Chain A
Amino acid sequence: MEELLNDNVLLWTIALVVLTFGIYIGVAIWARAGSTKEFYVAGGGVHPFVNGMATAADWMSAASFISMAGIISFLGYDGSVYLMGWTGGYVLLALLLAPYLRKFGKFTVPDFIGDRYYSDTARTIALVCALVISFTYVAGQMRGVGVVFSRFLRVNIEVGVVIGMAVVFFYAVLGGMKGITYTQVAQYCVLIFAFMVPAFFISFQMTGNFIPQVGFGAQLNDGSEMFLLERLDGLLAELGFAAYQDGVKSRVDIFFITAALMVGTAGLPHVIVRFFTVPRVKDARISGGWALVLIAILYTTAPAISVFARTNLIQTVSNKSEADMPDWYGKWKETKLIQFEDKNGDGLIQYYNDKNEKFVKEVAEPNGWKGNELIVDKDIMVLANPEIANLPNWVIALVAAGGLASALSTAAGLLLVISTSISHDLIKKQLKPDISDKGELLWARGAAAVAIFIAGYFGINPPGFVAEVVAFAFGLAAASFFPAIILGIFYKRMNTQGAVAGMIAGILFTFGYIIYFKFIVAPEVNVPANWLFEISPEGIGTLGMLINIIVSLVVCHLTPPPPQDVQDLVESIRFPRGAGEASDH
């Protein structure tokens, strides 16, 4: 206990986590939902900027906050797929989807698909896709909550997940979309503050410029007058790695992955539903803009952190004695995020690219190096970054609060999609159309509660394939929802037969391709030479989308056009006037 009290970082972390959780719960009590309309779309009266903040928190998950900068720091240019892919989708959302779906004025994505294609089959396909995508995603978030708890507060992952479940349970079940919206605003503030403060500090330390977006393209302030990126490229070359600013992956694959992530983002149901919460079509458009501004703050800072962290890491560990490592090294080694094996027994840490045969032959072997000795987990680049840069304890503690905010906000948004899909799209629209508003609300709360327990279970016992199926969530959204919605708005002639055939073709193709390469064949077979047109399973959703569109168009022209009232519906969603608040009728 005494040791705990002396641990300043731990005290700061506990204080910040308790404080932020208190705020979330306070907001939730203030914003309780009293009707299905408040539960599903926060009453439809959310200010566009507030919705933008909530969308940004909804969208930026534990992966964006904790993992992305680390992934990019190891991938260099190839990591750009995440930066462009996860922001470019908002242009599609704000220009092609949000205003029209807002005018349509219902509660969910399956609602739109079901009504536009006047078919319960189409509605059911959309419903199943929404559930699969959301469950896939939410398991990862709960896991993220557990990991942050275990690393920063030294409790078991299980305990961490249960605490996270309890907090989300409180505001999602009680407050529905209304509670979620306003807690997400608070969570956005926490996560962006936690992400930016270390970035400002480190940027200033390394380059003398406070703005990280400028700093990582600036000169080092160590008197060398060398650009930071030049220094990093030099360090990487010395260790046999590829230059940071040139890619390794094929351009075709980069293209397809970026497209799959963009289109997938625009098709994710928990992001789309956020645009149902604003009062007018006009607000839906601008709200997409605010969301992207707020997301871009993090997404343009992340690549800067990647460069700072990779440079700092190499300069700290490369060819140094393990005995001389700073405190953070030992701490993170305990959590196994850093692993060191002294293969040649010289007591020094040799960190280099042992896959580069030329480098191994010409540099490593003559020096007596017997393989890369250091394994660094990608998450450490953000989690340990403040410590690596020697920042004050309260900054280190902030990262924990920010990581939790990002995971909880995304988990809540996903849980809402799951509960709405069950209570609204399944119970109300298909099984019990005459259910009362009170009864439907009860179902929504019940479904949210059950979903939290399932998500918590997967958080504690993660299936080994969580990382693999994230690609699947985007691929599925890209190959199913996106084309069906776009064609539904921009192509009046599109009918049920076309849309259903297209969605099924897109899903089967994408699903089959990912399953085949990720689960059926051995990892050695999952290489560019065996892929279709050099497209990796991560990027195949783009091809799935194209297949969906082609099949939709062909089948649509072999079958009769949609009825007049559906064509009138399409006509009406194209013009903003007359958009009432999102409703049931």
Chain B
Amino acid sequence: MSTQEENMKAYWKMNLLYLSVLLSIWFIVSYGCGILFLDTLNEYTLGGFKLGFWFAQQGSIYVFVVLIFVYVYLMNKLDQKFDVDEK
């Protein structure tokens, strides 16, 4: 296997790693905090909000936005590192 191919494999592996970490967070804030653990989190409050409710109607959306920008940042760096970025 050529170094070029190995490089590409390493690049793709890193991409998949980023994706699995970010999508786990995506799943935890929405399906976890907003749905599955709603009742537990609702025992805590954030100002006037019950915490689980806040995640379902506010918090998860903020985290979604952050996740995309983090991914863009990580991938732009990764593209440069492996020299596959667009010139």
Interface centre among B22, B34, B57 (most CB of A within 10 A): B57
Q: A84-B56, A91-B67, A255-B35 are in contact. Are A245 and B12 (CB under 8 A)?
A: no
A95 touches B68 (CB 8 A): yes
B50 touches A90 (CB 8 A): no
> Given the complex of chains A and B, what is the CA–CA distance between A296 and B30 in angstroms?
15
Q: Is there a chain B Cβ closer than 8 Å to A409's Cβ?
A: no
Q: Is there a chain B Cβ closer than 8 Å to A115's Cβ?
A: no
> Given the complex of chains A and B, what is the CA–CA distance between A393 and B25 in angstroms?
44
Q: A246-B42, A303-B57 are in contact. Are A577 and B48 (CB under 8 A)?
A: no
Measured CB to CB, the closest approach of chain B to A46, in angstroms, equals: 16
A96 touches B46 (CB 8 A): no
Q: Is there a chain A Cβ closer than 8 Å to B8's Cβ?
A: yes
> Given the complex of chains A and B, what is the CA–CA distance between A421 and B15 in angstroms?
32
A83 touches B57 (CB 8 A): yes
Q: Is there a chain B Cβ closer than 8 Å to A410's Cβ?
A: no
Q: Is there a chain B Cβ closer than 8 Å to A131's Cβ?
A: no
A94 touches B71 (CB 8 A): yes
Stretch at the interface among A35-43, A213-221, A328-336: A213-221
Question: C-beta contact mask, B53-87 vs A, less than 8 Å → 1, else 0?
Answer: 11011101110110111011001100100011111
> Given the complex of chains A and B, what is the CA–CA distance between A421 and B87 in angstroms?
32
Contacts of B54 in A (CB 8 A): 217
CB contact list, A44-102 vs B, under 8 A? 72, 77, 79-80, 83-84, 87-88, 90-91, 94-96, 99
> Given the complex of chains A and B, what is the CA–CA distance between A516 and B76 in angstroms?
48
Q: A217-B54, A575-B8 are in contact. Are A292 and B19 (CB under 8 A)?
A: no
> Per a CB cutoff under 8 Å, which of B12, B34, B64 touches A90?
B64
Stretch at the interface among A227-235, A314-322, A467-475: A227-235
Measured CB to CB, the closest approach of chain A to B83, in angstroms, equals: 8
Q: Is the interface of A mostly helix, strand, loop or mixed?
A: helix
CB contact list, A216-264 vs B, under 8 A? 216-219, 227-230, 245-247, 251, 254-255, 258-259
A213 touches B58 (CB 8 A): yes
Contacts of B67 in A (CB 8 A): 91, 95
A288 touches B68 (CB 8 A): yes
Q: Is there a chain A Cβ closer than 8 Å to B44's Cβ?
A: no
Contacts of B38 in A (CB 8 A): 77, 247, 251
Measured CB to CB, the closest approach of chain B to A212, in angstroms, equals: 11
Q: Is the interface of B mostly helix, strand, loop or mixed?
A: helix
- Which chain A residue shows the least CB distance to B70? A289
B56 touches A292 (CB 8 A): no
Q: A84-B56, A300-B58 are in contact. Are A217 and B22 (CB under 8 A)?
A: no
- Which chain B residue shows the least CB distance to A251? B35
Measured CB to CB, the closest approach of chain A to B1, in angstroms, equals: 14
CB contact list, A288-310 vs B, under 8 A? 288-289, 292-293, 296, 299-300, 303
A229 touches B49 (CB 8 A): yes
Q: Is there a chain B Cβ closer than 8 Å to A574's Cβ?
A: yes
Q: Is there a chain B Cβ closer than 8 Å to A286's Cβ?
A: yes
B48 touches A219 (CB 8 A): yes
- Which chain B residue shows the least CB distance to A254? B35
Q: A80-B56, A88-B26 are in contact. Are A289 and B61 (CB under 8 A)?
A: no
Interface centre among B11, B23, B60, B65 (most CB of A within 10 A): B65
B68 touches A577 (CB 8 A): no
CB contact list, B1-53 vs A, under 8 A? 8, 11-12, 15, 19, 22-23, 26, 30-31, 34-36, 38, 42, 46-50, 53
> Per a CB cutoff under 8 Å, which of A230, A281, A296, A574 touches B64?
A296
Q: A83-B61, A94-B71, A296-B64 are in contact. Are A245 and B84 (CB under 8 A)?
A: no
> Given the complex of chains A and B, what is the CA–CA distance between A577 and B80 in angstroms?
10
- Which chain B residue shows the least CB distance to A79? B57
Q: Is there a chain B Cβ closer than 8 Å to A196's Cβ?
A: no
> Per a CB cutoff under 8 Å, which of B15, B57, B68, B85 touches A282?
B85
Q: Is there a chain B Cβ closer than 8 Å to A561's Cβ?
A: no
A95 touches B56 (CB 8 A): no
Interface centre among B19, B50, B87 (most CB of A within 10 A): B50
Contacts of A247 in B (CB 8 A): 38
Q: Is there a chain B Cβ closer than 8 Å to A32's Cβ?
A: no
Q: Is there a chain B Cβ closer than 8 Å to A427's Cβ?
A: no
- Which chain A residue shows the least CB distance to B86? A280
Contacts of B22 in A (CB 8 A): 91, 95
Measured CB to CB, the closest approach of chain A to B18, in angstroms, equals: 8
Q: A229-B48, A254-B35, A285-B71 are in contact. Are A579 and B86 (CB under 8 A)?
A: yes
Contacts of B79 in A (CB 8 A): 282, 576-577
- Which chain A residue shows the least CB distance to B66? A289
A251 touches B76 (CB 8 A): no
> Given the complex of chains A and B, what is the CA–CA distance between A95 and B65 in angstroms?
12
Interface centre among B11, B58, B71, B84 (most CB of A within 10 A): B58
- Which chain B residue shows the least CB distance to A291? B68
Can you list 27 contacts pairing A with B, beta carbon distance less than 8 Å?
Answer: A77-B38, A84-B60, A84-B61, A90-B64, A91-B67, A91-B68, A95-B23, A95-B67, A213-B58, A216-B48, A217-B46, A227-B48, A229-B48, A245-B53, A246-B42, A258-B35, A282-B75, A282-B79, A285-B72, A288-B68, A292-B65, A293-B65, A300-B58, A574-B12, A576-B85, A577-B86, A578-B86
List chain B positions with a Cβ less than 8 A from chain A: 8, 11-12, 15, 19, 22-23, 26, 30-31, 34-36, 38, 42, 46-50, 53-54, 56-58, 60-62, 64-65, 67-69, 71-72, 75-76, 79, 83-87
The 4 closest A-B pairs by CB, nearest first: A227-B48, A80-B56, A289-B68, A217-B48
